[in-house]
Structure 1
């Protein structure tokens, strides 16, 4: 009786121990299961950012065309001026006197010409003498025209609508011919210059459509995006051999006058990528500033593999080398394994993985 009871207890103990070990083993297996996915391969676009310089559509220097004292200033620094508006007056007295002298000379020569013409009509003087008198009259008229031009140069007017910069000469200053007075900027539209690497230029040209110009955006110095998009209108002819870049020029409308000549910012340009290999950023880790992923082989072993990131998107990397579309990569638990470990995993489709990333959008 006692022996039978003892055997029953031993059997129950073995059964309990076997069940307990099985449950622990099951728990252990569940703990080491990792989430695995594959890269997503698809055509996409990325936004590239390029440091840029902002220039006014027209930006010129206004210089004195004649020597003299700066007699009047009709405008102020920073003022918006209209085409044809008076800006500066250089003392015109000398040029007024020269004009009067030239006009008097022309009047005298004209009288001589009229007298010579009457004599020539009466065959008293030769035709050559009449031609000489006429040439003297033409020369005198040219002197009048030149004097008028010099006088007009003393009145400096705005050649177009624009905003003035600060004065380089003050009222009463003696200015020489060619001295800088101020600068004038037409900010109605802006030219924004930025440099594009050769590989990105080739990608852009390969996908660009001639009938639809590329639109770009501008991030200003305060990190805000400018309200109005621009259009790439010009690409320079030559690459810079030292930097491997080529200059693009985008034109932006500036109806509110917010942008000014000399500002800086960043151009945001959308670049198309064909058959891009996309992976979540959290599937990567860094070693000595290089990026790696864990690739799962056919025997469920993980191997550390270096990848090259071509571009970065929110929560995603676009990989240019190191991965194929059918590779399996660890998505979670990459800090819990080492190269060569065999793992158990659950596989999740890449579209499903990426769709659940909080900042991703199609």
Structure 2
């Protein structure tokens, strides 16, 4: 065999070259292993692979977005105070009216006569009391008898006030300027005390009511500006003017009201609206809503990879969402977010991460 090798010197050169290459490769692998152990744990065979993207937090206005209901600033249902018939419909429903304007008239019946009788009774009692006082000054009239006459005068005056009130209740007037919105009676209808007659609304201003979760209400202050967006895209500026002192016992949420000027008297009461309330600045990350997931307790968060190449799950707060993505707070300022494979790994699991390519 040696004689054959000696006859082929090129074979010796090939063998030596192969051995030299193997020796060099063994040294390179050893150095690579030492370098990897110095920077991070050596990946174990069979680790799950995930793609990551480095995200840096940016200052962002924290915004509370809730759905609300637009209501008239004031709304009153006017009811009958007496038994009477509808005598006149003085205004048409749907029309703007001024404060004190006559809207509907009920039949006076004998109420005018009752006022006249009561006025005469009062005048008679006043004369009796006046005469009795003069006699009393000369000790010609007893104190008890004078007290009785004073009592009868007070009774007559009370009856006169009641008669005048009943007569005044035949005139249904607007307690404030607004819109004659609805009527529930017709000409000639007989009404009883407490029966609904008409509805008056004030839409010179509007209020948008909403329910705020108990963990968010502490961020609100009276007087702060609120953006109100209607379903048709119209945007209006409002001011937070009311925050309930106690939560609703069923929903554990707090009622808030936003005042919105409506100088054009737009018919928006009863519609839905979205309230956008600024609640201060926070560091936030912008990411795809598809990367949000839920933990075992149902809390929203995202998965990312720490320096030890282990998966972390951090709960986040959603600041805002639009067509381009979501802004969330609660993550470290710089984070290696898992963008591919997050559904196949669990918190605490060691993974093999790979930086996602641009645009992926």
TM-score where L is the length of structure 1: 0.69
> How far off its partner does 1:106 sit?
2.8
**2:199 aligned residue:** 183
Q: Residue 257 in 1 paired to residue 265 in 2? A: yes
Contact 1:188 1:253 in 2 (8 A): yes
**2:35 aligned residue:** none
Written as runs of structure 1 = structure 2, the 5 A alignment for 1:103-142 is 103-113=119-129, 115-116=131-132, 119-120=135-136, 123-142=139-158
Residue of 85, 100, 118 corresponding to 1:102:
118
Residues in 2 aligned to 1:157 and 1:177: alpha-carbon distance in whole angstroms? 16
Residue of 78, 92, 95 corresponding to 1:79:
95
Residues in 2 aligned to 1:175 and 1:62: alpha-carbon distance in whole angstroms? 13
**2:42 aligned residue:** none
Deviations 1:260-313 (A, max 9, x none): 44332221112335333x143289487999876564857xx7x76655452244
Distance 1:287 1:102, change over 3 A: closer
Residues in 2 aligned to 1:190 and 1:125: alpha-carbon distance in whole angstroms? 65
**1:281 aligned residue:** 288
Is there any run of 5+ residues in structure 1 with no aligned partner, and where? 1-33, 354-362
Distance 1:100 1:281, change over 3 A: same
Contact 1:82 1:160 in 2 (8 A): yes
Residues in 2 aligned to 1:285 and 1:134: alpha-carbon distance in whole angstroms? 83
Is there any run of 5+ residues in structure 2 with no aligned partner, and where? 1-49, 346-350
Q: Residue 66 in 1 paired to residue 79 in 2? A: no
Contact 1:296 1:329 in 2 (8 A): no
Contact 1:310 1:317 in 2 (8 A): no
Residues in 1 aligned to 2:183 and 2:148: alpha-carbon distance in whole angstroms? 50
Aligned residues: 301
Distance 1:214 1:125, change over 3 A: closer
Residue of 224, 234, 241 corresponding to 1:214:
224
Residues in 2 aligned to 1:221 and 1:267: alpha-carbon distance in whole angstroms? 11
**2:234 aligned residue:** 225
**1:310 aligned residue:** 317
TM-score where L is the length of structure 2: 0.70
Residues in 1 aligned to 2:353 and 2:158: alpha-carbon distance in whole angstroms? 99
Residue of 161, 164, 179 corresponding to 1:148:
164
Written as runs of structure 1 = structure 2, the 5 A alignment for 1:308-347 is 308-311=315-318, 312-314=320-322, 315-320=324-329, 323-329=331-337, 334=340, 340-341=351-352, 343=354
Contact 2:57 2:334 in 1 (8 A): no
Residues in 1 aligned to 2:134 and 2:356: alpha-carbon distance in whole angstroms? 117
**1:193 aligned residue:** 209
Residues in 1 aligned to 2:275 and 2:355: alpha-carbon distance in whole angstroms? 46
Deviations 1:109-132 (A, max 9, x none): 345445545655665443543443
> How far off its partner does 1:84 sit?
0.8
Residues in 2 aligned to 1:70 and 1:342: alpha-carbon distance in whole angstroms? 82
Distance 1:304 1:114, change over 3 A: closer
**2:26 aligned residue:** none
Query: RMSD of aligned C-alpha atoms?
Result: 3.7
Distance 1:225 1:304, change over 3 A: farther
- Greater Cα shift, 147-156 or 45-54: 45-54
Distance 1:39 1:97, change over 3 A: same
Q: Residue 50 in 1 paired to residue 58 in 2? A: no
Contact 2:52 2:355 in 1 (8 A): no
Q: Report the secondary structure of 1:240's partner residue.
A: coil
**2:247 aligned residue:** 239
Residues in 1 aligned to 2:127 and 2:290: alpha-carbon distance in whole angstroms? 99
Residues in 2 aligned to 1:308 and 1:123: alpha-carbon distance in whole angstroms? 94
